Amino acid sequence: MEMYYGSIFNEVFGPVMVGTSSSHTAGPYRIGAAARMLLGEEVRKARISFDPGSSYAAYYKLQWSDRGFTAGLLGIPIDSEGMTDALEIAREKGMEVHFAIETKENKEPNYACLELTGKDGSQLVLGSTSIGGGAIELIEIDTYPIYIKGDFNTVFLYLNKDTDLEEIKRQAEKIIIEEFRMKESSTGDGSIVYLETRENLTEVQRQALLEIPQVAKVRYTSHVLPVLSRFRYENIPFRTAAEALAFGKENGITRAGELGILYEMARSGYSRGQVMDIMKNIIHVMRESVKRGINNMTEEKIGGLYPIKAATMYRNIREGNTKVADIGILNEIACVAIGVLESVEIERPGAVVASPTVGSVGILPAAVVYLGDNLKLSDDEIASAMFAAGSVGVFVAHQATFGGEVAGCQAECGSAGAMAAAGVVEMLGGTAAQAYTASTVTLQNILGQICDAVSVGYEPCNARNVLAAVNAVSTANMVLCGFSVEIPLDETIETMNRVGRQLPTCLKGTYGGLCCTPTGQKIAKICEGE
């Protein structure tokens, strides 16, 4: 099997979204969007079901899975205010959406089955899982086992009996201009083939595929991830920190930002200007989320329970209203980290960048973008810092996970902190080796951290965003002053992954830790309307 290379814009920075969770909002949105396209007509009825032991069962209302699925089914942009009102919009449009909790054979934490009926009577059954950071896998379609990630345009051909697959391929090659990859799936009742391609197939092409004699039905979805994948990754410079440093040494590249830029250019096929423009848009969205977080002086309470804290804290520090220890800009960075995360949970949230998840969404804006702006760096310089951070995210994506439900908060805030540390070193003029050493120390400092979010308000997530952001800046300073460690970044990432997977399930979700305290349980009951 061809080795997969993650994209900085698919797996690390993104999605740009409205909502409370990359796993539980953005993932469902992308699944819903793919399902809508596969159905091929306007959705009239949707039944979405998941196992009582799944994380969806605990989170689907609180973390907007219901809105994410529904917005995707409606075709509402994920970064628009319509995300907030998706359920109301569905009712206004006459679309029935029902969520069911029932026993499933698939025990993946974020498995969901979608059963759809269209306005003209078409039906679709789609099995899916959200795997963290907005990444998804579609694993069943109409009882046929499949595997797609949403990183190609994909057409499904439902076949008549006794079909010659080679003939199907020959006919498809006459219709699809660009290269495609064909896979087969069968059950006792029949078989399908699905063709993945970078080509966006027109309605004329899809009709031509349907007219192939052996084809009974065609379904199609365009890609739902921002950057298309390739069938062959040629000249991809690295997958690990060790490979990145070796590549840099061989080619005279001393900065982690340049390594990240070259990686994404090779991965995406985009020009330097294109990848820089995408990153600058990400920086813009982060800046706006920072502004919302530190300027929100309303009396609004998150989930009706938690008061907004960050803006008041920020103002008190800036105006000297409170006696605090003078640790320079770190005090402001702490407020920013909290503020960005709070901005996700307000009544009318704006767009944020999952970086790499929404649970860690305040870390990069605080430790890299806000710090970079205070250092009066240009957008090009901050973008280079974000690419340095992105390169570390690539190492994690290839060797471990960003999913808190898989490996604990160390995989979310820990990974984001490691990324931020590399970004800070880049902004301060350090080398790639120093950047990755800072990432190593930052991640080592947070090994074993569990995921135990209380039902609403991101407690203790907001404080952990502070911990990771301050950890990143402090560690970067230490390394630039001469501090070092012996265990390298790749081994530390592997350890994070191993330790996280060894954590019991009860420490990777709303099952153990602080959420199980008497107060945590009380909050959960309030949120559930009991």
Q: What's at 490, amino acid-wise? A: D
pLDDT (average), residues 273-299: 94
**Distance, CA of 389 to CA of 395 (rounded, Å):** 10
- The pLDDT tens digits of the residues spanning 109-166 come to 789 999 999 999 999 999 999 987 788 999 999 999 999 999 999 999 999 887 888 9
The Cα–Cα gap between 45 and 327 comes to 56
- Asked if residues 339 and 296 have their Cβ atoms less than 8 Å apart, the reply is yes
Residue among 156, 125, 152, 151 nearest 140 (CA): 125
Q: What is the pLDDT of residues 304-350, one digit of tens each?
A: 677 888 999 999 999 998 899 999 999 999 999 999 999 887 778 88
Domains for the chain: give ranges and CATH numbers.
8-221 (3.30.1330.90), 241-527 (no CATH)
Share of the chain above pLDDT 70, in %: 98
On whether the pTM is more than 0.75, the answer is: yes
Residues in Cβ contact with 128 at an 8 Å cutoff, skipping those fewer than 6 apart: 31, 35, 111, 112, 113, 114, 136, 137, 138, 139, 140
Six-digit token pair at 420?
């931020």
> From the centroid of its chain, how far is CA 130?
9
Distances (CA, A) of 405 to 19, 359, 450, 497, 506: 18, 11, 9, 12, 10
Q: What is the pLDDT of residues 509-518, one digit of tens each?
A: 777 899 889 9
Phi, psi of 471 (to 5 degrees): -55, -45
pLDDT of residue 235: 87
> What single DSSP character describes residue 180?
E
DSSP labels, 479-492: HHTT---SS-HHHH
Q: What is the mean pLDDT of the chain?
A: 93
